[in-house]
Amino acid sequence: EKGGPRRFRMVAYTGVDVSRFWGRLVIDLASIECPEQLPILLEHNDACRVGVADSHEVTDEGLILEGFLLDNDDAAALARDADAGWPFKASVGVRFKTTEEVAEGAEIELNGRTFRGPLTVARGARLFETSFIAANPADLATTAEVLNGQETSMDPKLLAELCKANPALAAHLEQLAKSGGEAAKAYEDYRKLLDDASSFDAVLIGTPDHWHAPLCKAFMKAGKHVYCEKPLTHSVAEARELGELARTSNVVTQMGNQGSASDSLRRLTEIIKAGVLGQIREIYQWGISVTASEGSAEGEDPVPPGFNWDLWVGPSGMRPFKKEVYHPFRWRNWFDFGNGGLADFCCHAINLPMRALDLGYPEKIVVNIEDGKQISEKAAVEFHFPARGDLVPLTLYWQGSGTPRAEVLQPLTEIYKDKAPTGLLILGAKGCVYTSHWNTGGLIRLEGEPRLQDVLRHEGTKDIPQTLPRVTNHGQEWLDACRGQGKTFSDFDIGGKLTEIGLAGVVGIRAGKSLDWDGEKMEAKNAPEAGRFIHTEYRTKWLT
């Protein structure tokens, strides 16, 4: 209402099976529970509460949440991003009362659909929070939008044409249409778009990972500014190539690790570089599983009408279409298209330490994964970085689905008790820093202080000078740079180096062994057979 708080609407869960790295999960909508007032966070960060859901309903769309935004800086930034046309999806935090395992080949009727096992059914799920999550067109299975009262003006015939290959795009395009403007022109084949190169200046790439590098190269060589979602590439060698191309091309680039725009990440970078945490030897990241599957699924289903499966597979090896296995958004669980959770989140989670601690290349990667399972409680993957100038060697423990030991979590349990959140923890000799997977909402505690505090309100570091610019929106920073106003903070030079770190860990996972890593040469010195996971062999049918 006029003068009142902004409202939002979320399709928080659609009722379909959700792929996780340990299997498939379906939540029973009929038994789902939701409190009368549900906290709404930004990126599952307890320090960034942006709204309250005050109503919920189960419809044919799924679980619908509606509510209002709070009057704070994070909510205001969220509203600005939404008004600028940047998409969000919803992500729910739930706890289950019971689970039921459906055996392979068995069928179950649930949520108005028929599901075939193997999968897990969760019943009596209770929501304890829901989050706005920065999204891209490839992963909008759920939606979350800040309402502004405007009606869509997009031609419904055009909308239908654009969404033939991916019906989940409908919600994204409807959201963009609310901001008005000229109707979009639809292209199925990016090479046709390149034929019209004089008609546009910049592109945003939100495809599955295996298409990132080929598309980026094609558009950069055509002189176009490029924004590409994370991870920047599908292989280590592609990341190196794009970084080098960015340094020699007169185009503006930005990788989509949106936490780069947060004041918390930039302030923490300034603080850590100032040395107030002392020497840092250990970093812990936990709550993100790591692995994916080799090969392809068994069986074959008819390709849906209007869906160009051959083009979707593109530069990867061709395989039969299998319904609800690869598309939409299950591709990340297959190494031919994605690289699992480590590749997905390395560009978010390692962003802060790479910048603040000049990480460079790891010299050793210790892999504790066997047959896709984590076999060590210590970490799924350990990245061992050498000394850098005056900085001592350090180890980054990617815990995967594990949790750091109790003494490591002690700064967090003082605040969160037995519900310590997941995220990134940097331990220094004179203090520590905690932040989310996205490096937003940072907390800091220095030696002698009783507990973690918001880094943006921390008295003990207020005299450390600001050296980095502040921005309101990661995408807007790119658009401004395209117009010659400032620079991007996460260009492909930075994004390529960040992606290389995570993908080097993926090489170890796929090779099934720890690696003596030569980052400069992109080689595993003790495992020459791992070379096939470092470089990409393309199917050339759809390339320029």
305, burial (CB in 10 Å: exposed 0-12, middle 13-18, buried 19+): exposed
Q: What is the pLDDT of residue 137?
A: 43
Q: How far is CA 198 from the centre of its chain?
A: 32
**CA torsion through residues 215, 220, 226, 228, sign:** positive
Residues 325-344: pLDDT tens digits? 998 778 988 999 999 989 98
Say which residue, 80 or 17, is predicted with more confidence.
Answer: 80
Distance CA 180, CA 196 (A): 23
485-544 pLDDT, tens digit per residue, is 999 999 999 999 999 999 999 999 999 999 999 999 999 999 999 999 999 999 999 999
**180-216 pLDDT tens trace:** 545 567 788 999 999 999 989 999 998 999 999 999 9
Residue 59 DSSP SS3:
strand
**400 against 284, higher pLDDT:** 284
400 has pLDDT over 90: no
pLDDT level of residue 173 (50, 70, 90 thresholds): low
Residue 74: pLDDT band (50, 70, 90) is: confident
Residue 18 is predicted with a pLDDT of 64
Task: Name which of 85-99, 124-138, 220-234, 331-345 the model is least confident about.
Answer: 124-138
Instruction: Give the 3-state secondary structure of residue 381.
Output: strand
Nearest 5°: the CA angle 479, 348, 409 is: 145
The predicted structure's pLDDT at residue 338 = 94
- Residues 43/438, Cβ–Cβ less than 8 Å: yes
pLDDT digits (tens, 9 = 90+) for 354-384: 999 999 999 999 999 888 788 877 789 999 9
Q: How far apart are CA 67 and CA 49, in angstroms?
A: 13
What is the rounded CA–CA span in Å between residue 347 and residue 233?
A: 11
pLDDT for position 176: 53
The average pLDDT across 28-40 equals 87
**What are the strands of the beta sheet with 453-454, ordered from one edge?**
453-454, 443-446, 431-435, 423-428, 280-286, 394-398, 381-385, 364-367, 515-518, 523-524
Q: Are 475 and 227 in contact (CB under 8 A)?
A: yes
Q: Strand, coil or helix: what is 447?
A: coil
Q: State the Cα–Cα distance between residues 464 and 441, nearest whole angstrom.
A: 19
Q: Residue ranges per domain, the chain? A: 7-149, 259-468+491-544
pLDDT class of 353 with cuts at 50, 70, 90: very high
Do the Cβ atoms of 311 and 189 come closer than 8 Å? yes
Are the C-beta atoms of 500 and 304 separated by less than 8 Å?
no
Residue 233 has pLDDT above 50, yes or no: yes
Q: At 273, is the pLDDT very low, low, confident or very high (cuts 50, 70, 90)?
A: very high
All residues at 6 or more sequence positions from 88 whose CB lies less than 8 Å from its CB, including other chains: 78, 81, 82, 132, 133, 134, 135, 143, 144, 145
Report percent pLDDT > 70 for the chain.
Answer: 87
Contact status, residue 308 vs residue 178, Cβ threshold 8 Å: no
pLDDT at 352 over 70: yes
Give, as one character, the DSSP assignment of residue 103: P
Residue 83's pLDDT band (boundaries 50, 70, 90)?
confident
Residue type for position 206? G
User: Which phi and psi angles does 223 have, rounded to 5°?
Assistant: 85, 25
How would DSSP label each residue in 133-156?
A: EE--GGG-SSEEEE--SPPP-S-H
pLDDT at site 139: 44
Q: With a cut of 70, say whether residue 396 has pLDDT above it.
A: yes
Residue ranges of alpha helices (H) inside 105-255 are: 156-162, 169-177, 190-195, 212-221, 236-248
Give the bridge partners for 366, in sequence order. Answer: 382
How high does pLDDT run on average in the chain?
86
What is the structure's pLDDT at 162?
Answer: 42
State which CATH number among 3.30.413.10, 3.40.50.720, 2.40.128.20, 3.30.360.10 fits the domain covering 259-468+491-544.
3.30.360.10
Average pLDDT value for residue range 374-401:
92
More confident residue, 438 or 530: 530
- Mode of pairing for the β-strands spanning 23-27 and 38-42: unpaired
CB-based contacts of 283, cutoff 8 Å, min separation 6: 353, 394, 395, 396, 397, 424, 425, 426, 427
pLDDT at 96: 77
78 within 8 A of 42, measured Cβ to Cβ: yes
C-beta of residue 134 within 8 angstroms of C-beta of residue 144: no
**CB-CB contact of 328 with 312 (8 Å):** no
Q: Based on C-alpha coordinates, what's the Rg of the chain?
A: 23
Instruction: Answer with the residue of higher pLDDT: 500 or 288.
Output: 500
Q: Is the CB of residue 259 less than 8 Å from the CB of residue 440?
A: yes
